[in-house]
Structures are given as structure tokens and as C-alpha cells.
A and B are shown apart, each in its own frame.
Chain A
Amino acid sequence: MNVLAYLIPISLILGGLGLVFFIYTVRSNQYDDPEGDARRILSDDWDDHPKP
């Protein structure tokens, strides 16, 4: 059962990373325009060079 000593912290850290990333997406306004973002991916305006 010693394996638990590694596995539980690892799973908690991985889950925590997911939570932190989610909080980052909320804070950087990534849910303000879900419909537009879904369409923007189809536009090829900035395919060759990034938007300045």
C-alpha cells in the first residue's frame, strides 16, 4: 500500500493543475464570446503570421 504515498499527492497535484488552468481561463475572459471563438478558428486571416 506504500504506493498510495506517491499516487494520492500526484493525483491531487494533477487535478489542482487543471483547476488552476481553469481559473486562468476565467480570469482572462475566455468565456466572454464562446460563439465567436468557435467561428474564429475557421477564419484564415492570421494563419501565416500572428495578429500584431
Chain B
Amino acid sequence: MTATTRPAPSACPACSAAPAAEALAARDLPGAQIALSLPTIHCAACISKIESALDAHPRVRSARVNLTLKRASIDAAPDVTAEDMRSLVAGLGYEAHELDAGTLSATATDKAGRELLMRLAVAGFAAMNVMLLSVSVWSGAEAATRDLFHWISAAIALPAIAFSGVPFFRNAWAALRQGRLNMDVPITLAIVLAVVTSLWETALSGEHAYFDAAIALTFFLLAGRYLDHRTRTIARSAAEELTALEVPRATRLRDGAEEVVGVSELAAGDLVLVRPGGRMPVDGEIIGGTSEIDRSLLTGETLPVFAGEGQAVSAGEVNLTGPLTVRATAVGAETSLHRMADLVAIAESGRSRYTSLADRAARLYAPGVHILAGLSFLGWYLYTWDLRTALNIAAAVLIITCPCALGLAVPAVTTAASGRLFRRGMLIKHETALERLAQVDTVVFDKTGTLTAGTPRLDAPEALPREAMAVARALAEASSHPLARAIAEAARAAGVAAAEVTDVTEVPGYGTKGRYEGREVRLGRASWTGAEPRAQTASFLSMGKGLPVAFPFTDALRPGAEEAVQALLADGKRVILMSGDTEPAVAALAERLGIVEWSAEALPADKAARVEALRDEGAHVLMVGDGLNDTAALTAAHVSISPASALDAARVASDIVLLGNDLSPIGAACATARSATRRIRENFRIATVYNLVAVPLAVAGLCSPLIAALAMSASSITVSLNALRLR
């Protein structure tokens, strides 16, 4: 629990202290609320297995698994840590990650969605009842019976519209106050005018009342709004979950004692301890320890860099071997991580020029409707000099042209498409991302961390001498350095047993050493083992005699990378590889994937400039990248995708996030986006056809409430069914 209560200022300290103490005690009672992300659960058995295991834990009060969000929320005693729960679930064979409860609490209850659903339910209830009454009017109720039915309809419809229509009224008012027109202005006008003329007609026991149309309109439009809202909430909560996965903590050294604090509490000048495997929380200077650091997320280089005293480090770099003490020089917004935001802001100015299909339709539509309704009112008034007839016809025109189908046309399709892509592991963050993805003709990939997994793999282990492998395995198993782990794994896979090496010690920043057959053996950096450094990532083993043996590495391909590139090439798209890594590494990968156009050693600004140049040539660029050096390019591109493993900044800059490890959904996503855009256009056409048929009738004064209801329901249902055809 992170909630804090601030006692109110009071005259007597004891008065305020006692309730505060009580509040503290009461707050302790609820215990720890722990949230875990469980990305791999999928069935009823998973739910009951995890829930019963958690419930069996003596300190857990209750646990509930949510399969839709793939999350477990646990209510436990205060001393239970998230790590205990995580390892408990991981022990059952499920992947589990701690979620930052503070970040998640914002999405725990979706108040706005619940409110919309409530309004939708009331509108639906009222629409059904009013429709039933209207059916009897249409089938020939007369005189007093008709008036009675109209009055009952009014009694149901008026409060229902007053309650359910609030979102439209609010939006329309906000737009009008700024002197603009949006979709909600004609909607509000149609609803209000329909209700007013119907009331007037009913009072004069007239024949045509549009209560049913007004409430049905509200219902259909609310359905569209709700779909739209839900799609966005799902995307937002998934994006927030990704952020919550990174619990921002750092170990601060104060007077020689270690304390774990939130990154936001650090100040410049603080001493921060970064353990092997940890990420630098601040920009700073190393004042103690030696190690190697991995800067691939910042620069795209795969080769780890030696780090010793006096060297500057940047936030976001990963410490590999030895613990480092860093004196912070810049924290929070001043770190180089955040300075990159300037580049992003420049790139941003080129973005946001895209107008969504819905906005383009609304821009044509909203003034058109008002002019049409106004003209028919004026025409009929001049023709008959009868205000009642003219107003009736104007209301009929507004109701018939009301954007019921238009309001559903886009949300129905985007809901269907994002749901489909979400199940394939893609999260659509931006509302127009699908439309933009459909236009893509050029795809730019980053290398490190995007096409490659960022974990090294030993190149051709069978070509290495067996004895060297055995010694290397013995030395590598003592280290948690990624290269050492790759050697140990390759040796295990090749069935090479570890040699008898004694006195194995790790020398942070250099490698591991030990004694083998009376000689000192070393596995590590080139300079330390007496070998010639190479351009390719490699470790070296010196056996104490002869030349050191080189262990070259390649970066393992990310699963699905090959399929994704092949699918895009087969689709006739231009594929470009742009990396900050060295030339041989990039060339090798480009050849392996069959990519003809590539460039190496690209600086972040180069990448963004290149993407902008492509854009100026008229290309619609899809950028796929994960690192900080890609952030500007991600923003400059027409549409962008980043994997879930990307830095927070890159994920924020991109429109679509890949939730899994796999890249292969990218090809299919382009196809889905294209068919979704096609469906949206079809839906607009269907809605227009209905209008073309019904509007002349309304303008000619031949429209009855029956025709209005038929046209409205038929077009809305056709549009929704068309959206569901999406494959």
C-alpha cells in the first residue's frame, strides 16, 4: 500500500495524533496488495492451480487471477514481499513479473467506462419500451390510444435521454463554446429538436412523434462510444502494465550503509551502487569498481565496453560483471535519457499531420447536415407559412441524416481489428495507428534488440578445440556475464564436460581466471588475455601456452524476425536495415535476412534524418526499433512499432507495441490494417447509400417515424455486421 494520509492540522497535538495512529493501525490491517503479471496463463487449469497455490500460502489472505488482464492480485500480510509471491508462482512453471502497484492503481477501476455502460443500459431499456409502444402506433392505434402511447413514450424517453445523452451534450457544448463544429453538434441538435417537436405534436394530438427515433439514436451512438472507449482502455491499461513492470528502484549508499530508494528520490551527488545485471538509474561517474557495461539500448553497439574508475556512464546502460559505485551527476529529467526528448520533439513536429478517416468524414458531414436541415426548414416555411410543418420536416431530416452509422463505422472496425491484433500479441496504442499502418510501403528495422534478441550466441562451437571448450566451460560457469553464459550453454549443448579448473575467480571488467594443469588460464577481454582485439564480439581464452583461442559470438535472431522480413518483402515493401552497430555485424545480419539496403554506425540523428528524407520522397515509413537511439526515428516515421523489451522512452514514442518476443505478427498486422481501412471506407459508403435513399423522402416531407426507425436501425446493423467480417 502506498496510500498516505495527511492528518488535518489541529490545535491539540494529541487529538490529531490519536486518530492518525488509529488510521495507521487500520491501514496495516489490509496488508500488502501485490500485483503480478502472468503473461503465459491461458486456461481454467492455470487459474485454479495458481489460485490454490497462493491460497495455500499461510500469509496470503486472498488471491484472485484475472485471465482477461493476465494478472493476479494478492492480498497478503504486510511482511510478504512481491518477490516471495513471484517465486512461488514461478515455481509452478508460470512466467511471473512484479507490477508496480502505484502505476497500476490508476487503471484498477475504469470509472468512465462504467458510467458509459450504465448510460448505454438505460438508453437500451428505454429504447426497447418506446419501440414497443411505437410499433402499436405504426400498426394503427388512433385518437386517444395514440395520444396515450405518445405520452407514455415521452415519459420514458425524456428522463432517459436527459441521463444517457449527457456525453454528447457535454462535447457539443465544449465545441460550440470554442466556435467549432464536431460530430456531437448535429447529434445534440437532432436529439433536442426531435424531442421538442415530438412534444409539441403530442400536445396537439398530432400523428408523428419521434421519441423512438431520438432514444434509438442515443442508444446506437452510445454503443459506438462505448466500443471506442473500451478499445482505448484496453490499450492504455496494457501500456501502463508495461511501465509498471519496471519498478524504478536504486541502491543508494549513505555513510557506508545501503538503502533501497525510488529513483525519483535520488539527487545529484548521491552515491549509487549498481549491481551486475542492473541498469544505471542516473548519469554519473564511476568512483569505485570495475566492470563491463552494455550500451546497446543507447547506441545499438553489441560489444560490451570496459568500465573503470573515472569513466562517465549514462542512465539506461546495463552493468554486466562487477558492482559499480557511481556518483550521480544528473538525475531524472536531466539525464541523457531525457535529453533525447529534444530530438523527439523536433521529429514530432513532422507527425500529427495525419487526419483520421472519421475526422475527414465529419468535416464534410457536419456542416452539410446543418445546411440541409436549415434549407428544408426554410423551403417548407416559405411554401406553407406553417411553422409546425416546417419544424417537423427539419427534425425528420436531422434524424434521418444523423451519423448513427457514421458513429459506429470506425469504432466497430477498430474494435474488431485491435482485438484480433491483441490476441496475436500486438498492442495498438494510437487510435489512427491502424489507418496509418495500412498505407506503409517502406519498413525500416533497427538491428540490436529488434531483429536480434540482444543475447549473444557462440558462433560455430564445433570448430573450437575440445580442450579449450572444456576449460572455457569451467571458467564461464563462474560468471553471470552474458558472453560467459553463452559459452557455458554452448558447451552444455555440445556435451563438453567442464575441465578441472581450480581457484576460479572473476575479475570484474576483465573476465575469469583459474588454474588448470598448473598453469594460469584466463577467459575474457582481448587485452587481458594477450590477444588481438577484433571487430566482431568475441571472448578470448588464454591457456598459459600458445596463442589465445577466440570465441566469436553472433547476436541470436529474435524469433520470427526472419518470417517478418520475408513476409514484408513478399508483400512488395522496401525493407531497410539501419543500425548503430559496426559494419561487419550489420552486413552479416543483412545478408542472413536477405535485406539489400542497410547502413551501419548510424547516430540517432542520422536515423531520424534518414527517415525524414524517405518521408519527403513520399514514402510511408514504418519504423521498427527498440533503443534510445531509435526514439527520434520512431517519432519521425509515419507509424512505428517497438517490442515490449524496448526502453520506456521508445515504447512511448511508438504507436504499436509488440507484447511477445516474436516479430512475426508484423507482416500479418499490415494485412489486417489494410482490410480494416477497407472496411471503414465500405462502412462510410453503406451509411451514405442509406442517407441517399432516405434524405429525399425526408426533405419531401414523406418521411414517417417508421421510415426513420427502419433506416436508422438497418444502417447501424449493416455497418456493425460488416465490421465483424474483418479477417
Contacts and interface: CB of A to CB of B under 8 A. Distances in A.
Interface of A: 1, 4, 8, 11-12, 15-16, 18-19, 22-23, 26, 31-36, 39-40, 42-43, 45
Interface string B248-276: 00000000000000000000000000000
Report, as a range, how many residues of chain B touch the other chain: 20 to 34
Contacts of A4: 145, 148
Nearest to B69: A33
B132 A43 contact: no
A11 B47 contact: no
Point out which of A1, A12, A36 has the most chain B C-beta atoms below 10 A from its C-beta.
A36
B32 to A, nearest CB: 21
Given A33-B67, A34-B68, A23 B121 contact: yes
B48 interface: yes
A26 B117 CA distance: 8
B247 interface: no
A39 B118 contact: no
Interface string B617-636: 00000000000000000000
Contacts of A22: 121
B219 to A, nearest CB: 13
B311 interface: no
Contacts of A36: 47, 65-68
A19 B68 contact: no
Nearest to A38: B67
B87 interface: no
Nearest to B144: A1
Q: Is the interface of B mostly helix, strand, loop or mixed?
A: helix
Contact of A43 (B47, B121, B125, B129): B47
26 contacts: A8-B152, A12-B129, A16-B125, A19-B121, A19-B122, A19-B125, A22-B121, A23-B118, A26-B114, A32-B66, A33-B66, A33-B67, A34-B68, A35-B68, A36-B65, A36-B66, A36-B67, A36-B68, A39-B47, A39-B67, A40-B47, A43-B44, A43-B47, A43-B48, A45-B48, A45-B52
A49 B132 CA distance: 45
A19 to B, nearest CB: 4
Nearest to A44: B48
Nearest to B156: A12
B121 A26 contact: yes
A25 to B, nearest CB: 10
A15 B128 contact: yes
A11 B129 CA distance: 8
A21 to B, nearest CB: 10
B567 to A, nearest CB: 29
A12 to B, nearest CB: 6
Contact of B125 (A15, A34, A45): A15
Given A4-B145, A19-B121, A32-B68, 14 more contacts: A11-B129, A11-B132, A22-B121, A26-B114, A31-B117, A33-B67, A33-B69, A34-B68, A35-B68, A40-B44, A42-B44, A43-B44, A43-B45, A43-B47
